[in-house]
């Protein structure tokens, strides 16, 4: 099992997060203002709760 997951952001840049990281953790890694303002996320085109954990390879839509 990998120690981290890789997520591709809308601009194509990759972001590495620890295994078990959530959508809220991704928002916080981008910026504290985004983390405070976020109410949901999108993984592979599906709207998800901020507590949803990432798995390897998902994309945030543009």
Global pTM value: 0.80
Evaluate whether residue 18 is within a structural domain.
Answer: yes
Query: What's the whole-number mean pLDDT along residues 11-15?
Result: 91
* In contact, 5 and 54? CB cutoff 8 Å: yes
Confidence of residue 10 (pLDDT cuts 50, 70, 90): confident
Evaluate whether residue 56 is within a structural domain.
Answer: no
What does the alpha-carbon distance between residue 4 and residue 11 come to, in Å, rounded to a whole number?
21
Model confidence at 57: pLDDT above 60: no
Evaluate whether residue 54 is within a structural domain.
Answer: no
Report the CATH number that the domain containing residue 20 is assigned in CATH: 3.10.20.30
The boundaries of the domain holding residue 29 are 4-48
Confidence of residue 62 (pLDDT cuts 50, 70, 90): very low
Q: What is the domain count for the chain?
A: 1
The residue among 34, 29, 32, 39 whose CA lies nearest residue 4 is 29
More confident residue, 54 or 16: 16
* Tokens matching residue 42: 């999108």
Model confidence at 34: pLDDT above 80: yes
């Amino acid at each position: 099992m990998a120690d981290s997951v890789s997520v591709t952001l809308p601009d194509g840049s990759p972001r590495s997060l620890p295994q078990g990281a959530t959508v809220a953790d991704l928002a916080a890694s981008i910026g504290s203002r985004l983390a405070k303002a976020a109410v949901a996320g999108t993984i592979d085109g599906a709207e998800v709760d901020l507590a949803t954990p990432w798995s390897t390879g998902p994309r945030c839509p543009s």
